[in-house]
Amino acid sequence: MQSSIKNIITSLCLSAVEHMLSPIPSTVCGPLLFRIQQFPATRSRAMDIISEKFMNNVYVNKNSLENQIRCILNDYPVVENETLKPWLLQIISVIDLTTLSGDDTRSNVIRLCQKAANPLKCDLLNKLGIDNNKLKTAAVCVYPARVPDAYDIIKQMGLTDTIQIASAILITQVYKASMISMSAGADFIKTSTGKESVNATLPVGLVMCRAIRNFYQLTGVKVGLKPAGGIKTARDAINWLVLVYTELGPEWITPDLFRIGASSLLDVVEKSLDNCTKVAPKGDLR
């Protein structure tokens, strides 16, 4: 079921944006931030290749980084309602629906899991022509003490194979930390806990995307990205999808390789989808 859900939603997204997104370039808006030689390798050899000398020679041009973010978002605008819909649906499929309050109760976790299983209201699904059985969030994220509660309710809904349960530094350090984490065996690297004063930012995301790309060039191993914290609007989430699409390709905007950690984003996306079914000025994305 999970595979078919991914394929359906990915097809929805890619068919709508295929006409406006050109093939993924090897460079975007200027020179690569990192120069790296390509080696045939595996993850087990990564620590041999990614040596201390390699890490000491990493340099990130901050101005170039910020300029490239502006260039990516300007070159690949997503504003029309018919274009917005597949992007918004794709966002739902990669959300790790989160509750990390210290006073969480079983009832809170149950409501979270039910929302993950039924992310949109029935009337909106009908307007969009979407089958509710084919749209779920990627996962729910709770504190370890509440994992049994989450597992119980997801098991009762028969969705254990569909919904998973998961329990400020220098830019150069972001790249180094990303490479070290991937070399140590991480399947995903995450921008932040979501509980910091500064969380997921696009410049940091670009650095992490380049690290993922370079690691893949070195080892042939694909590692996922999870931005978390500060992604409050549908536009924020779409910007992350556009960034990952342009830097890493369409395969990386599926739940296998991309997640958004969020607690309130799903409700915002639902409202934006509802707005898309109404007559609204172009670019009216709240």
- Domain ranges within the chain, ordered by starting residue: 2-276
Number of other CB atoms surrounding residue 103 within 10 Å: 5
In angstroms, rounded to a whole number, what is the distance separating the alpha carbons of residues 182 and 223? Answer: 7
Q: Are the beta carbons of 208 and 225 closer than 8 angstroms? A: yes
Residue positions annotated with a catalytic role: 161, 190, 226
Convert the pLDDT of each residue in 225-248 to its tens digit. Answer: 999 888 889 999 999 999 999 999
Categorize the per-residue pLDDT at 270 as very low, low, confident or very high, splitting at 50, 70 and 90: very high
Q: Which conformational region is residue 220 in: left (phi greater than 0), alpha (psi within -120 to 50 degrees), or beta?
A: left
pTM: 0.64
More confidently predicted of 22 and 60: 60
Which CATH number applies to 2-276?
A: 3.20.20.70
| Mean pLDDT for the chain overall | 76
Q: What is the pLDDT of residues 102-150, one digit of tens each?
A: 678 899 999 999 999 999 998 898 888 887 778 899 989 888 788 889 9
Helix (H) or strand (E) holding 80: none
Q: Calculate ∠ Cα 153-262-65, nearest 5°.
A: 150
Strand partners, 189: 225
Q: How many CB atoms lie within 10 A of CB 32?
A: 14
Percent of residues, the chain, with pLDDT higher than 70: 72
